[in-house]
Amino acid sequence: MAETTGNPTDTEASSGSDNSSPHKSSWRYIGPGIVVAATGVGAGDLVATLIAGSNFGYTLLWAAILGCLVKISLAEAAGRWHLSTGRTLFDGWASLGRWTTYFFVVYAVIWGFVYGAAAMSSSALPLQALFPDVMDLKWWAVACGVAGLVFVWFNKYEVFEKVMTVLVGVMFAVTVYLAIRVTPNLPDAFAGLLPVLPDEKDSILNTLGLIGGVGGTITLAAYGYWVNAKGWTNTGWMKVMRLDNRVAYATTGIFVIAMLFVGAELLHSANVAIASGDKGLVQLGDILEAEYGSATAKFFLIGFFATSYTSLIGVWHGVSLMFADFVARYRSSDETTGEEVASGARERSWPFRAYLLWLTFPPIVLLFQGQPFRLIILYGVLGAAFLPFLAVTLIWLLNSERTPREWRNGWVSNGMLAAAGLLFLVLCVKQVWDQPWSEFF
C-alpha cells in the first residue's frame, strides 16, 4: 500500500527523531503488528468468514481482502499519530473536547464488563472440547480469565509480545493447514477477487458486515500504544511501523482467506450449515473429525484456542493500557506522551491493574447468572459506535495543526479513513436499528 501522508518518504523528521532509531524498515523489528493482528481476529471473526464461505462460496473473497485494507488505514493512522506528535491517542481525543472522555469511559466500563465474559467463554469452548471430562465450561472460562490476568499483571510488553507471536504461529499453522487440506478450487477463488454481490436479499449489508467485521475492534486504537510500548516513540520509526502494520493485516488476510476456503469447500459444497458465534467452531471440529479424523479435529481445536486466547490477553493488555492513559490524562492537564508508555510505567500503574481486575472478576458473575438483557443491548450499540468514532477522530486529528505538517493525511489516507468511517457508520445504524428497543424500556 502506498504511503499515505503528504510527504511520506523522510523518516528523519524534525520532531522527535534520534540517532538510536532505525533509518530503514526491517523485519527484525516487527512485533506490535503481530499483537494487533492476533488480538483483532477472534473466534467470532473466523466464524463470520466461515459462514460467508459456507453461504456464498468464494463470491465475497474480495470483500474480506478489502476489509483488511480498511483496517491497515485505521491502524496506520493511529500509529502515525503516536509517532509524529509524541502524544498518545487519548491525549489527542481529549484535545477534541470532553465528549470524547465521556464516550470512552462509558464504552470502557460497559464494553469491558460484557466482553470479559465473552472472551473467557470463547477461550473455554475448545478446552472443554479437548478435555471433556475435566471440568464444566464455566470453570474453564474462569480459569482462562484468571490465567490471563496473572500473565498480564506480572509480565511486561516484551514477554507479552513473545507469547502472542508463538500463539499467532499456531493460528497460522492451523488455518493454512486446513485451507490446504480442503483442496481449494483456485480458479473459483481467483474469480472471487472480482467485486460481485451475492444474489440475495440484504446482500449489500451482509457484504459490508464482512468488510467491517474481521479484525475490527478497539485493538485498532490500541495499536499506537503497543507501538510505544515496543519503544517506538518518534518519527524515526515511521517506516518500521508501516511495515509492521502491513505485515499485521497481511497475516489477518491469510487467516480470513484460509477460513473462507474452508467454508467454501467443506461446508458450501456439502450444503452444511453451522451456528453463528463461537459454538460454530466447535461444530466445525465435529465436521473435521468426521471428514479427516480425530487428529485434524484436535489440531483445529488447538488453533481455535490460540485464536480465542490471543484476543483475551490482547484486550487484557491493550485496553488496560488505554484505560491507564485515560486516567493519567484525566488526573493531570499535562499532555500524556509515548515516552511514558515506552517506559513501562503504565503497565505497573494502579489504573492498568484496576481495569485488568474489572475485565476478569465482575464478568464471572455473567458466566454463572446469564447476561443481563439491557446491558447486552448497550454493549452492542457502544461496540458498533466505537469504530466510526475512531475513524472520524483520526481524520480530525491528522488534518489539524495538532499533527506536524509533514505527517498530516494525504488524499489516500483521507479517502480510506472516510470510507472506513462511512462503512462503520452504516453498520452502526443497522446495529442500533436491529436492537429490540421496545423490550428495553
Three-state SS for 5? strand
What is the rounded radius of gyration, in angstroms, for the C-alpha atoms of the chain?
Answer: 21
Nearest to 107 by CA among 90, 124, 83, 122: 90
Backbone angles phi, psi at 297, to 5 degrees: -65, -45
pLDDT of residue 216: 61
pLDDT of residue 270: 73
Cβ within 8 Å of residue 433, ≥6 positions away: none
Encode pLDDT of 405-431 as tens digits: 999 999 999 999 999 899 888 888 888
Segments of the chain with pLDDT less than 50: 1-20
Encode pLDDT of 71-108 as tens digits: 889 999 999 999 999 999 999 999 999 999 899 999 99
Interatomic CA distance for residues 426 and 391, integer angstroms: 13
Interatomic CA distance for residues 340 and 39, integer angstroms: 23
Degrees, nearest 5: CA angle 115-120-125: 125
User: How many beta carbons lie within 10 A of that of residue 226, not counting itself?
Assistant: 31
pLDDT of residue 13: 37
Cβ–Cβ < 8 Å for 54, 200 = no
Cβ within 8 Å of residue 179, ≥6 positions away: 257, 258, 259, 261, 262
pLDDT of residue 163: 96
pLDDT of residue 364: 93
Backbone angles phi, psi at 230, to 5 degrees: -70, -20
pLDDT of residue 70: 87
